[in-house]
Structure 1
Amino acid sequence: MDRTITIINETLVELFNDILTIEQTALKQGGFNDLSVTEVHTIEAIGMYVPRTMSEVAATLGITVGTLTTAVGNLVKKGYVKRERSEEDRRVVKIALTKRGKLAYRIHAKFHSDMVKETVKGLSKEEERVLTSALEKLNRFFRDKYHIKNCKKD
C-alpha cells in the first residue's frame, strides 16, 4: 500500500505541474504570451456570452472581489475584458470579454478539449468509464476534504 500511495502522490504532483506548464506553453504558442494561466482562468470564469458581476465571477473562482478587482484591472489594460454598466441598474458594473478576450477563451477551451480527447484516445469504453469514475471520486474527495465549493458556472 505504501508503494501505491507514493505512486499516486508522485503522479498527482507531476500531472498538476505538467498541465500548468503545458497550458502556459499553449498560451504562448497561441499568441497570448501576455496572459498567465490564472488570467486565462479568470477569462474562462467571466464567460463568453453574458456579462457578469464581479461578485458572480469571484464566487466562481473562489476568490474575494478585491482580488478579482486587481486581476480584472490588468485584463482591462491588456484588452481582454471590458467593464459595462447594467442596463437595469446603472449603479451595477458588469464585466464581459472583449473580442480578444473571447478569442483567448475559445483557444483555451480548445486546448482543454484536445487534452481530454488525447487522454481518452486508445482507451476502451470500460477504461474510459473507470477513469471517469476514479477522477470524479478524486475530485469529490478534494472538494469535501478541503471544503471547496463547486466553481462551475450555472
Structure 2
Amino acid sequence: MREQQIFPPEKMNTGSQKLGRVILQLQRLERQPRTFGEAGVLTPSEIHTIDAIGCEGGILMSALASRLGVTKGAVTQLVTRLEAKALVTRTTHPTDSRAVMVSLTEKGKVAYRIHEEMHHEFYQQLRLQLDPDEIAVFEKCLDKLSELLRD
C-alpha cells in the first residue's frame, strides 16, 4: 500500500476549490444542449445514450440502462425520444423474443461520430497544453478520480 502524503491545509483548500470549480463547470456543460450535425439539437442525456449505443453497434435495453446507471423506465423514455428524432431503432432480439435491442440509425451514427470528434478535439487541445509526463500524470489522476466517484 502506498504511503499517504500529507499536504499543508492551504494546498488542500486550493486543490479542493479547483476541483469544485471544475465540477461546477462540468455540471454547466451537462445542462447545455448542443447541435450534432443533421441529428440536430440533443441534450447531454440523449447524446450520452447515443454514445453508449454506438460503442456496441447495438445493445439490449436492459444493458443500456445498466451502462448509463439509470432505470429501465428512464432508458425507455430516452429511447422513445431518440426514436422520434429518427436516431435509433428498436428491434426484437434475434434469439430471445422478450428482449429488445436498440441500435443507431444512419442519422444516429452521424451524431455519434460528431460526439466522438468533439471529445478527440478537446483532448488534442489539452495535449497541446501539457508535455508527455504531465499527460501521464493527468490520465493517472483521472483514473483515481473515476475510482473515487464509482463508490
Give the one of 10, 30, 35 matched to 1:28.
35
Corresponding residue for residue 81 of structure 2: 74
Query: 1:103/1:17 Cα in 2 relative to 1: closer, same or farther (>3 Å)?
Result: farther
Asked if 1:57 is matched to 2:28, the reply is no
How far apart are residue 13 of structure 1 and its match? 3.3
Computing the radius of gyration from Cα coordinates, the structure with the larger value is: 2
How far apart are residue 12 of structure 1 and its match? 2.6
Mind listing any 5+ residue stretches in structure 2 that lack a counterpart? 1-7
Query: 1:29/1:19 Cα in 2 relative to 1: closer, same or farther (>3 Å)?
Result: farther
Mind listing any 5+ residue stretches in structure 1 that lack a counterpart? 148-154
Q: For residues 107-126 of structure 1, what are the structure 2 equivalents within 5 Å?
A: 107-126=114-133
Deviation sequence 1:31-79 (CA, Å, 0-9, x none): 6553101110011111255321101111111111111111111111111
For the Cα contact (< 8 Å) 2:33–2:42, is it kept in 1?
no
CA distance, structure 2, for counterparts of residue 125 and residue 36 of structure 1: 34
State the secondary structure of the residue aligned to 1:90: coil
C-alpha RMSD of the superposition:
2.4
Q: For residues 1-154 of structure 1, what are the structure 2 equivalents within 5 Å?
A: 1-19=8-26, 21=28, 27-28=34-35, 30=37, 33-47=40-54, 50-143=57-150, 147=151
Percentage of pairs with the same residue: 31
Q: How many residues align?
A: 144
Corresponding residue for residue 151 of structure 1: none
Q: TM-score of the superposition, structure 2-length normalised?
A: 0.80
Query: 1:21/1:32 Cα in 2 relative to 1: closer, same or farther (>3 Å)?
Result: farther
Supply the AA of the counterpart residue of 1:108: H
